[in-house]
Amino acid sequence: MNWIYLVTTDNRPRVQSRILQIFDKQMIAVSSFVSVRFGDQVYMRISGDTGACDGERLRALIQHLEDVRGIRAIPADDERPRYPRVFHAECARPQQPVLLEMLIAQGMNVHLVSPSHITFESIGSDAGVEEICETLKRHWPIERVPGEAEGPHSQGAF
């Protein structure tokens, strides 16, 4: 089963290698790894093929590392409905590469990049999307774009 891990850690030496060592010790092949350092944090998106029960066990092993601030494990083959939410971030051109890397590391889909804004889409649970947006709001003004593709539980998330 394929899993996606969204990991937020302190910006310390070798934190990324310690996380990848867990995958290596468990003999799990990493199919993709995206990482971005921003301020005092590192945001990572790691995809790997694990067994059905190994996905949650791997999340627990990573969670217990000293510098890990948060982790979400998402089954890539998950059949639960996920409703897209579109957001608009005000971001000046010099900071756009950093924001784009953060969005990609958090599993967001970027739709539009203008000189002053980035429009992106997130698919996931209300709590997960809210957590990611709260992290991004610390650095950039973000607002939700109302749309028709919202699910029944997404009302009032932002």
Lowest mean pLDDT among 2-11, 31-40, 149-158: 149-158
Rounded CA separation 125/132 (Å):
11
- Position 147 pLDDT exceeds 70: no
Which residue(s) pair with 72 in the sheet?
6
* Average pLDDT of span 121-148: 78
Domains defined along the chain, listed by start: 2-75 (3.30.70.260), 83-145 (3.30.70.1150)
The pLDDT mean for the chain works out to: 80
The two tokens of residue 90 are 């005000």
Please give the residue that has the higher pLDDT: either 67 or 130. 67
End-to-end CA distance of the chain: 32
Q: Where are the beta strands (DSSP E) in the chain?
A: 2-10, 30-38, 41-49, 68-75, 83-90, 109-113, 117-124, 142-145
pLDDT at 150: 47
Most confidently predicted of 38-42, 55-59, 88-92:
88-92
Question: In the chain, pLDDT over 70 holds for what percent of residues?
Answer: 84
pLDDT at 78: 55
* Average pLDDT of span 101-120: 83
